[in-house]
Structure 1
Amino acid sequence: MKYVILIHSNPQPWGHPTGDFIAENQALPTEQRERMNAEFEALLEELSASGELVAAEALADPSTSTLYRWQDGKPLTTDGPYSEYKEHLAGFFLVDVSGPERAQEIARVFSGPGETIELRPAMWPGGEDH
């Protein structure tokens, strides 16, 4: 089963890894941040070795985005991001795992202070969950 792990964050200034730029994460003791980073790196190595990691990308500063909306029967292009949002999509990981329990186990390690992690099943064309 494929799942996407979406990293929502609001670091100011924007940068990666996002946790390095979030006040809640910066406030943690150095030892705790180092332990969390080591756990995350170990997980990425495990996912790569097992073949569960399909793809991953960090995304650029939301201010560099372009939004496309449909208005008056044609596309309307504006600079991004959505101004009303405080959190932005910082990156994603696509994993192919045995089931929802494994996906949840992985997503928990992605969770950190000041970030929201969204776990969502991927869908095949036609709308069926697989």
Structure 2
Amino acid sequence: MKYLMLIYGNEEVWNSTDAEQFGKLVGEVDAFNAALRGSGELVESRGLEPRPRAVRVVGDAPVVTDGPYLEAKEHVGSYFVVDVDSEERALEIARSYPALRYGRGLGGGLEVWPLMAPGGDDR
């Protein structure tokens, strides 16, 4: 089953982190991704550009605005998708995400979402 991992963080914290610590974090995440790629479990991993758009219906028409649509200090900064045998394995991977161990909010948080298979079957 495939799971989407949404990685949250705070851009102000990221921008205020010294280059050495941030570089160390990036290296650990790259090694994490390489290990999952080597095991065949990593489907995709990407960072997100910092200019999202939100589309909402206002009146009877869809309106595009600068997003994200929620007021929050943290936002989704990247994601990855894994294909694993169980939810337990997906959660094990999520708990081992390197950025979660960094202080000062640098690591943010991570959400785990099961993905539906084509045709709507979630298995």
TM tier relative to shorter chain: 0.7 to 0.9
1:121 alignment partner, one of 92, 97, 114: 114
Contact between 1:40 and 1:109, CA under 8 Å: does it hold in 2?
Answer: no
The structure 1 segments of at least 4 consecutive aligned residues displaced by more than 4 Å after TM superposition are 36-39
Q: CA RMSD in A?
A: 2.5
Deviations 1:73-114 (A, max 9, x none): 110111123362111111100000111111111101222442
5+ residue gaps, structure 1, are 14-20
Which residues in structure 2 correspond to 1:1-130 (within 5 Å)?
1-12=1-12, 21=14, 26=17, 34=24, 39-61=28-50, 64-82=51-69, 84-110=71-97, 111-112=100-101, 113=103, 114=105, 115-125=108-118, 127-130=120-123
5+ residue gaps, structure 2, are none
Rounded Cα–Cα distance in structure 2 between residues aligned with 1:9 and 1:43:
18
Q: How many residues align?
A: 114
What is the TM-score normalised by the length of structure 1?
A: 0.73
Rounded Cα–Cα distance in structure 2 between residues aligned with 1:107 and 1:3:
10
* Cα distance change of structure 1 residues 38 and 78 upon mapping to structure 2, 3 Å threshold: closer
What is the TM-score normalised by the length of structure 2?
A: 0.76
